[in-house]
Amino acid sequence: MTEAKNQSCVKVGLLQYAMGEVCDRDGVLEKVCGMIREAAGMGAEVVVLPELCLWPYFCREQDPQYFDWAEEVPGATTKVLQGLADELGVVIHVAVFEKRAAGLYHNTSVTLEPGGRELQLYRKMHIPHDPSFEEKYYFTPGGEGEGEQESFVVHKASNLKIGPLICWDQWYPEAARIVAMKGAELLVYPTAIGYLDGERAADQKAQREAWMTMQKSHAIANNVYVAGCNRVGREGELVFWGSSFVVGPDGVVIGEMGEEEEGVLIVEVDKGKIEEQRRWWPFFRDRRVDQYQTILKRWADEK
C-alpha cells in the first residue's frame, strides 16, 4: 500500500522571484538555475517557472526594440535548462518569449524532461490588451488556423500529466476544462500579474482574491491540482503581487508564498486524490454535452 501511494505522489516546486526593471537575462538565468538546484535538493520532481521567466515585463508598453529579446525554441534558454534537467533528473516547465519566424512571436511554455525527448510546447491562447498589459502588440495567439496540434495540449512529464496554460488563460474556464478532459492532473499557470500604481488598497485586495478564486474554481470544477506561479517586485508602474500557490482537487490551498517573497515552494501532488474527489463530486458524469452548443458562439444572439 505504501509503495502504491508513493507512485501516485509527485513533488512540485514553484519558483517565485523578481526580474528587475533592467533586462539582465544572463544574470536572471544564473539565479534561476540556482533556485532549480535548490528545488531539486528539496525533493522536487517537477519545477515550474513564472511567465516570461528571464525578462522584465516589457509588455507594459509598445516598443519594437523588445522583439530583440525573443529566442528561438529550442534555443539558448531551453538548451541551458535542458542540460540542468538532465543533470538533476527533474522536469522543468519554463515560459519564454519565443521567436518562431521573422515577425512571428509567441508567449510560449516548454516542458523539458530529463533525457531530452521530443520538445513539448504550448503557445498562449488568450492574449490581453489593457493599459500596462499590451501583449497583443507582441504575441500571436497559439492555435490560430494551425489545427489540433496547436490547440490546448497536455504535456507528459515524469509521473504527471501537466495542462500547460499561461496567465490570462487562467480567467477562461473553457481552457481549464479542455485540458482536464484531455487528462491533465496538474494545471500550471506561469503568470505575470500585479497592482498598478494609484489603485486603492481595497481594489488591490479584491483583484488578488479574484485571481486566486478563479484558479480555485478550476480545481474544484475539474477535480485537478492547479498551480499559479507569479513573479514579485516593482517594474515601472506595476508591482507584481507574487502569492504563487497550489490548490488541490477539492479547492483547498496546499501551499502559498507571500506577496513579496522570493524563494521556492514545494508541494506534494497526490494523483490518487483526483479519482477520490471525482467519486464524491461526479461533475464529469453529469455534464450535458448535448446542450452546450451556445458556448461555441461569441454571444447567444448569433444565428
The number of beta carbons lying within 10 Å of the beta carbon of residue 248 is 22
The whole-number pLDDT of residue 99 equals 97
pLDDT over 90, % of the chain: 87
Segment 48-76 shows an average pLDDT of: 96
Mean pLDDT of the chain: 93
- At 137 the pLDDT is 97
Task: Give the model's pLDDT for residue 150.
Answer: 56
Rounded Cα distance between 240 and 260, Å, is: 8
| Helices marked H in the chain | 2-7, 25-41, 76-88, 173-181, 201-222, 272-280
> What pLDDT shows up at residue 54?
96
Report, as an integer, the average pLDDT of 55-76. 96
Task: Note the pLDDT tens digit of each residue in 186-199.
Answer: 999 999 999 998 88
In tens, the pLDDT along 153-171 reads 999 887 899 999 999 999 9
Predicted confidence at residue 301, as pLDDT, reads 85
pLDDT reported for residue 61: 95
The pLDDT value recorded for residue 151 is 83
Q: At 263, give phi and psi (nearest 5°).
A: 155, -160
**Where does the pLDDT of residue 118 fall: very low under 50, low under 70, confident under 90, or very high at 90 and above?**
confident
Query: What pLDDT was estimated at residue 143?
Result: 85
Fold that domain 7-296 belongs to in CATH: Nitrilase/N-carbamoyl-D-aminoacid amidohydrolase (3.60.110)
Over residues 84-103, the mean pLDDT reads 96
Which residues are annotated as catalytic? Answer: 51, 124, 167
Name the grid cell of 275. Answer: 479519482
The edge-to-edge listing of strands for the beta sheet with 91-101 is 120-123, 104-112, 91-101, 46-48, 9-16, 263-270
**What are 274-298's pLDDT values in tens digits?**
999 999 999 999 999 999 999 999 9
pLDDT in tens, 211-245: 999 999 999 999 999 999 999 999 999 999 999 99
Q: Measured on CA atoms in the order 73, 34, 52, 246, is the torsion positive or negative?
A: positive
Q: Which segment of 4-13, 39-48, 84-93, 140-149 scores lowest on mean pLDDT? A: 140-149
Please check the confidence at residue 149 and state whether its pLDDT lies above 70.
no
So what's the pLDDT on residue 3? Answer: 46
pLDDT of 239: 96
Instruction: Report the pLDDT value the prediction gives residue 6, as an integer from 0 to 100.
Output: 66
The model's confidence at residue 2, banded by pLDDT at 50, 70 and 90, is: very low
CA distance 57 to 95: 13
Distance of alpha carbon 190 from alpha carbon 133, whole angstroms: 15
Residue 1 clears pLDDT 50, i.e. is over it = no
Tell me the domain boundaries of the chain: 7-296
